[in-house]
Structure 1
Amino acid sequence: MFERFTTAARDTVTGAVAEARRAGAATVTEEHLLMALLAQGALDPLGVDRAAVAAGLARARRRGGMSRADEEALAGLGIDLARILSRVEETHGEGALAAATPRRRTLGGRHVPFAPGSKRVLEQSLRIAVGRGDRHIAAPHLLLALLSRPGTVSEVLADHGVTYAAAESGLAAA
């Protein structure tokens, strides 16, 4: 499949691996793919504020990766996630839930595997390219694949006006 990736798409994938290494993460996640797209400027045609998106991702990590939909579902059961987060951070320090993700101390040049979700993004980018009649998978296909999956990444992007439809029309115009 990678033979169909454009140089920019390959740079995104290698950038995501670098992001995962820099963060000390055990796997390459969808968030790392988004951070690599941001670093490349792939979302610039959509008027996305890189710092604001990075801050939104940091807030989501602070919640332990729970989406607002998760938070609303818990609230429906009478569980106040913000209160629980506050209590956990009082006891264990700010970002205590974010630190619960598996990490490696040093990754050096070792292989960092892709998490199941990020693998699905890569597979979905191929489907999107084929569905659009494109011969190659480019960075915009990766963005559309990220947006097609529910979860924290698409939620943070939607907070900044980047939906699947907006990205599709904005990238087509660029």
Structure 2
Amino acid sequence: MFERFTKDAREVVRDAVARCQNTGGGTVGPEHLLLALLEREASRGSFALAALGLPVEGREPVREALEEARRRAGLSRADAEALADLGIDVSEIVSRVEEAHGVGAMSGDRRPAGRRSGRAGFGRPGFGRDARDVLEKSLRMALAHRDRHIGDEHILLALTARPGPPAEVLADHGVTHTSLTRVLYAGGEAQAG
């Protein structure tokens, strides 16, 4: 499947792996893909984000919101609200865990000392089930729109099409699957090489 990726999409995947590795994460998740996408410039995905009110220089609030979701161990606000209905205060749990183990302890970015992650013998993080699902959905998005190659815009579309913190954070900033599809395919405002 990787051979069908455009240069921009390949760079997103490589950058997601690097981000995961740099934070000590053991598994690349959808949030790593989104963080990598937020760094892109002059790509279809980047132009679509800008058209929806998220120019490159204005993406820091999205990064911060995503980091906050990661601190909650990847729980979406909906998950946290459902737990609150059961009397479980996620913010309090996060505070206690971080007090005992350090800030970001629930984000999944930390590995015990000496533990290697990813595929055996490779020392680099592997792709988690959710990240693989995003990449598979990106292929389906490209096929559905009769695009020959999978671009970074298809990865972005796939992130908005599945529940979870990346889609929630993007929606909070005006980037939904519907709005993104409209920008990408209903007039060509986000055309780039």
TM-score range, shorter chain: 0.7 to 0.9
Q: 1:83 to 1:26 in 2, by over 3 A?
A: closer
Distance in 1 between residues matched to 2:72 and 2:81, nearest whole Å: 13
1:103 aligns with 2:117: no
Structure 1 distance, partners of 2:179, 2:141, is 15
Pairwise CA distance, 1:80: 2.0
Larger helix percent: 1
Cα distance in 1, alignment partners of residues 112 and 149 from structure 2: 34
Query: Which position in structure 2 is the counterpart of 1:44?
Result: 50
Q: Please report the RMSD computed on the Cα atoms of aligned residues, expressed in angstroms.
A: 2.1
Aligned residues: 172
Q: 1:78 to 1:122 in 2, by over 3 A?
A: same
Alpha-carbon offset, residue 54 of structure 1: 0.7
Superimposed CA distance per residue, residues 100-134 of structure 1 (whole angstroms, 9 cap, x where no aligned partner): 55536688x84321111111111111111111111
Q: Aligned residues: percent identity?
A: 51
Q: Matched residues in 2 for 1:158 and 1:38: separation?
A: 14
Quote the residue 2:171 is aligned against. 158
The answer for unaligned runs of 5 or more in structure 2 is none
In the superposition, the TM-score normalised over structure 1's length comes to 0.88
- The residue aligned with 2:6 is 6
Deviation at 1:92, TM superposition (A): 4.2
**Structure 1 residue 26: deviation in Å?**
0.9
Asked whether the equivalents of residues 45 and 171 of structure 1 are also in contact (C-alpha less than 8 Å), the reply is no
Query: What is the match of residue 30 of structure 2?
Result: 30
User: Residue 166 of structure 2 aligns to a residue in which SS?
Assistant: helix
Mark the CA change 1:104 to 1:27 in structure 2 (over 3 Å): closer, same or farther.
Answer: farther
Structure-1 separation of matches of 2:125 and 2:93: 32
CA distance in 2: counterparts of 1:73 and 1:135, whole angstroms: 41
By how many angstroms is 1:93 displaced?
A: 4.2
Unaligned ranges ≥5, structure 1:
none
The answer on 1:72 being equivalent to 2:72 is no
Mean Cα deviation higher: 50-59 or 82-91:
82-91
